[in-house]
A and B are shown apart, each in its own frame.
Chain A
Amino acid sequence: MFGYYVDLALRSMKRNAVLTALMVTTLAVGIGACITTLTVYSVLSGDPLPDRSARLFYPRIDPVPEAAQSLKKDKPASIMTYTDAMNLVRARKAQLQAAMALATVTVSPQGASSFPFKESAIITTPDFFAMFDAPFQYGGGWSAADGANQAHEVVIAKALNDKLYGGKDSVGQTVQIDKHDFRIAGVLKHWAPEPRFYALDLGPHTYGDGDGIFMPLQTALSKSIGISPINVFCFQDNADMSHLQTAPCAAFGVWVQLERASDATAYRRFLSDYVQEQIAAGRMHYPAVSLRNLTQRLSHEGVVPQDVRLQVWLAFGFLLICVVNTVGLLLAKCLRRAREIGVRRALGASRRHIFAQFMVEAGLIGIAGGLLGLGFAELGVLNVRHQPTEYASLAHMHPCMFALTFLVALAASLFAGLLPAWRACTVAPAPQIKST
């Protein structure tokens, strides 16, 4: 019977070519819009470190000492002072911990004809690489002793290594950053987590090509080098931003790795105790602390840009409009064949058969709409790639989006076909056969 219905549906589609084409296009446009926005959304909201995102935590405390000014009055701030960040890192209460900030530095290549250029840099402590599983191609990171001694060592990214040394093993070479010489301790393989979760609160460009330079925190902040982070918030007037180690300014984020849930509870308690100590010493005022892991941060903190989320809803609204219009067109198409329905009913088809016949027809239109919608979605994603946003180059259709397209298309068309199919099966056969 199913094959017979498909045959009937195809014949009817051929007979009402224009109407069918309109229906398929209407559905396809709505599906294309939905799949385009869903593709962009899924690319941006993906988990950058799925194997360890539940074990990486971001502690937050409120660094301001007075009741007057606070970064956010109802929840702890997202960055902390150098003193607090280093206290947490030195306490070593988690398996791994690192403090970090984001900065922009100038790299001066050695060649006479090369111009200096800007590069994005992460200033951090040695656990950074192990905690985030940053892959090394050559060499490795620096040691804690190197950090404490303000050694002039850096780790550079693959892109920078390709640009300066043609991709060769450059460990041990010297690179001039901000007019100071640094020894290259290691070169990373291509590593650009999307979103760049470790710098969510430290600066812009959540989506991009990753950072080029990784430098020890103490070295960067030392008097001779004097690198200044991008996001600095000072909560007292006349703060001396060139001496962040002691200034009343927040600029640093801390990430910790905690293996088990009990470790997380213990760390939260340690954090509360630490804050209570600082309040007693008069350095802080607000006791609130927060300890969220990466999974929670990604889902609760609106990493995906607002525009993208809004577009997903707009696309679904658009799909609804397309479905409603398809219902009208399907109704027109089905009821035009009232005589044919009457004949079938008179020959013994039950209402259920008629209903099934028209649902199959709607399903076929859905599949055709899905195919065309896939084409529209590809065009849509292509259009997103050409937009002036930072995530433009990430927009690509996933294989699982193909399956989703047909799922959405079938669901939409079957839903649209419900009313016309029901209306068709309630057609009374007698008047249809009587008329000429």
Chain B
Amino acid sequence: MDIQPIFRSLRKHRIPATLIVLEIALACAVLCNAVFMMSQRFEHLTLGNAIDERGISIITVDGVDTSPNISAIPRDLAALRRIDGVKAAAVVDSFPLSENSWESGLSTTPAQHNDVNTSFYPVGQGAEKALGLRLLQGRFFTSAEYAAGTVKNYTPNSPVTVITQRYAQLRWPQQDALGKALYSGIQRLTVIGVVANVLAPSLAVNGANGEYNSIFMPVNYASSLPYYVLRSAPGDRVRVLQEAIKTLRKLRPQEIVSGDVFSDFRGRYFASTHSTLSTLGFVCLVMLAVTAVGIVGLSSFWVAQRRHTIGIRRALGATRHDILRYFQVENFLLTTIGIAFGMLLAYGVGLLLMQYYELPRLPWTYLPVGAVVLWVIGQLAVLGPALRAAAVPPVVATRSM
């Protein structure tokens, strides 16, 4: 297909050509960045969490007594374990996606040189069964370790810890983490076990790629442990939760008892992510529709403007197919130029967003995505007008000047 005549004809019709290029370029810039932002949020939503999410219910007991009643917790747990359907029960100080977290910098040397922000999960006996943690290496805590561990003034004084696999790979890449030590101030924590990746209570608090910076510590019931974790079959969750709340309210009349299944906590945590995702998706769709309408409208008019030229070409022997091909190639050229500008613009906008809003840099793999979508839209948009143009009979050339 000869491209030269197309270019020459474009030079004569600069305004419609420029408009189409501009429409495509702007759409490309917005699309690339919007799709990138959407995929980031989507990644967040699909982060894995190696606990029994579908089987866990969590009950919060908000006591006012700052001095914990040591005998209350075993009594509560015994009552909860008697509920039909409860496979395991334990108390914890925090849980994934709870937004209630305690972080501290931990280093691998006593001199505190390479602090990494880490979330602490102080847990009571039986937590590994209640949460459904998957042990990959080493072991969980023994009863003695649970009995001896305490937390005072946000300082742990248990000497052992179980960490997530991602965290182990982060602190000691290519090495075996078992037996290694972490230091929090003067306290030394020895790694005795590695579990499959468990999310931190808050995803943003430990920085980028810190979603799995979690370590578990054994504590006894003299510490603050406000969350009861119950594990049951997914079908029993709701009933177990209701009965457990009733039981705890009877046992603890002075305290605020409330609870939810874990899926609801996850839903609440990601509610705004979901809504941003759908807003961005909606905006993208509307924008593509607006662009398509604009291109269709402009192309219809522009093709109609060249009726006489088309008539002459047909009279000279061009087939309908030739005319159709001509307009499709012309549109393809314009779209390509528009996409080229659009990608530059998309990258520029991405840099601006990175600078002013601290968003990550737009990776170049997203640029082709916008390109392909707009090529398809451009071709579809010009199809109607091009078909109409191909239907122009040759006799038009012989009529009016």
Q: Is the CB of B283 within 8 A of A33?
A: yes
A106, B255: Cα distance in complex, Å = 9
Question: A22 within 8 Å of B by Cβ?
Answer: yes
- What bracket does the count of chain B residues touching chain A fall in? 35 or more
Which residue from chain B places its CB closest to the CB of A330 in the assembled complex? B297
CB-nearest residue of chain A to B154: A241
Assess the A387–B400 pair: CB atoms within 8 A.
no
State which of A84-92, A159-167, A232-240, A364-372 sits at the interface with chain B: A232-240
A22 touches B293 (CB 8 A): yes
Q: Which of A134-142, A269-277, A331-339 contacts B (4 or more CB under 8 A)?
A: A331-339
Which residues B19-36 have CB closer than 8 A to chain A? 19-20, 22-23, 26-27, 29-30, 34
Do A22 and B297 touch across chains, with their CB atoms under 8 A apart? yes
Interface residues of A in 413-435 (CB under 8 A from B): 419, 423, 434-435
Once the chains are docked, how many angstroms separate the CA of A428 from the CA of B401? 15
When C-beta atoms are compared, the residue in chain B nearest to A309 turns out to be B357
Asked if B272 is at the interface (CB within 8 A of a chain A CB), the reply is yes
Within B244-284, which residues are at the interface with A (CB < 8 Å)?
Answer: 254-256, 268, 271-272, 275-276, 283
Q: Who on chain B is nearest to A334 by CB?
A: B301
Instruction: Report if B72 contacts A (CB, 8 A).
Output: no
Complex Cα–Cα for A239 and B62 (A):
24
Task: Indicate whether A328 reaches chain B with its CB closer than 8 angstroms.
Answer: yes
Q: Which residues of B contact A419 (CB under 8 A)?
A: 15
Chain A residue contacts of B304, Cβ below 8 A = 336
Contacts of A240 in B (CB 8 A): 153
Q: Chain A residues with Cβ under 8 A from B300's Cβ?
A: 332
Contact yes or no, B62 A324, CB < 8 A: no
A262 to chain B, nearest CB (A): 36
What 1/0 mask marks residues of chain B from 113 to 145 whose CB sits below 8 Å from any chain A CB? 000000000000000000000000000000000
**Which residue on B lies nearest to A322, using beta carbons?**
B290
A336, B307: Cα distance in complex, Å: 13
Q: Are A328 and B19 in contact (CB under 8 A)?
A: yes
Check A146 for interface membership: any CB of B closer than 8 A: no
Interface centre among A22, A241, A329 (most CB of B within 10 A): A329
Asked whether any CB of chain A lies closer than 8 Å to the CB of B66, the reply is: yes
Query: With an 8 A cutoff between CB atoms, is B1 at the interface?
Result: no
Q: Is the CB of B283 within 8 A of A434?
A: no
Distance of A322 Cα from B298 Cα, bound (Å): 14
Q: Which residues of B contact A48 (CB under 8 A)?
A: none
Tell me how far the C-beta of A318 lies from the nearest C-beta in chain B, rounded to whole angstroms: 6
A320–B155 contact, CB under 8 A? no
Q: Which listed residue (A325, A331, A423) contacts B290, Cβ 8 A?
A: A325
Of the candidates B15, B255, B302, the one having the most CB atoms from chain A within 10 angstroms of its own CB is B15
- Interface residue from B20, B154, B256 paired with A115 (Cβ < 8 Å): B256
Asked if residues B155 and A325 are in contact (CB atoms below 8 Å), the reply is no
Report how far A117 CA is from B26 CA in the complex, Å. Answer: 52
Q: Render A170-182 as a binary contact track against B, CB cut-off 8 A, 1 for contact.
A: 0000000011000
Are B19 and A324 closer than 8 Å at their CB atoms? yes
Minimum Cβ distance to chain B for residue A108 (Å): 7
Contact of A325 among B15, B29, B272, B294 (CB under 8 A): B294
Question: How many residues of A are in contact with the other chain, CB < 8 A?
Answer: 50
Known contacts A328-B294, A389-B272; is-contact A226 B301 (Cβ 8 Å): no
In the complex the two chains form, is B291's CB within 8 Å of A321's CB? Answer: yes
By the criterion CB–CB under 8 Å, are A387 and B62 in contact? no
- A106 to B353 alpha-carbon distance, docked (Å): 42
Does A362 touch B at the CB level, under 8 Å? no
Interface 1/0s, chain B 375-401, versus A by CB < 8 A? 000000000000000000000000111
B290 and A321 contact, CB distance less than 8 A: yes
The answer to the question of B185 belonging to the interface, with a C-beta cut-off of 8 Å to chain A, is yes
Which chain A residues border B357 with CB–CB below 8 Å?
A: 306, 309-310
From the candidates A106, A242, A309, A329, name the one contacting B62 in the complex (CB within 8 A).
Answer: A106
- Interface centre among A30, A237, A307, A435, by most chain B C-beta atoms within 10 angstroms, is A237
- Bound together, the chains give a CA A309 to CA B254 distance in angstroms of 44
B15 A118 Cβ-Cβ under 8 A: no
Name A360-393 residues within 8 Å CB distance of B: 387-389
Is there a chain B Cβ closer than 8 Å to A6's Cβ?
Answer: no
Known: A328-B295, A329-B294. 20 other contacts (CB 8 A): A22-B293, A26-B293, A106-B62, A108-B254, A118-B62, A238-B153, A240-B153, A242-B153, A317-B29, A317-B30, A318-B30, A320-B26, A326-B294, A328-B20, A328-B297, A332-B300, A336-B301, A388-B275, A423-B15, A436-B399
Contact surface of B with A, Cβ cutoff 8 Å: 15-16, 19-20, 22-23, 26-27, 29-30, 34, 62, 64-66, 153-155, 185-186, 254-256, 268, 271-272, 275-276, 283, 286-287, 290-291, 293-295, 297-298, 300-302, 304-305, 349, 353, 357-358, 399-401
- A–B Cβ pairs within 8 angstroms, 11 of them: A106-B62, A237-B155, A238-B185, A309-B357, A318-B283, A321-B290, A325-B297, A328-B294, A328-B298, A331-B301, A435-B401
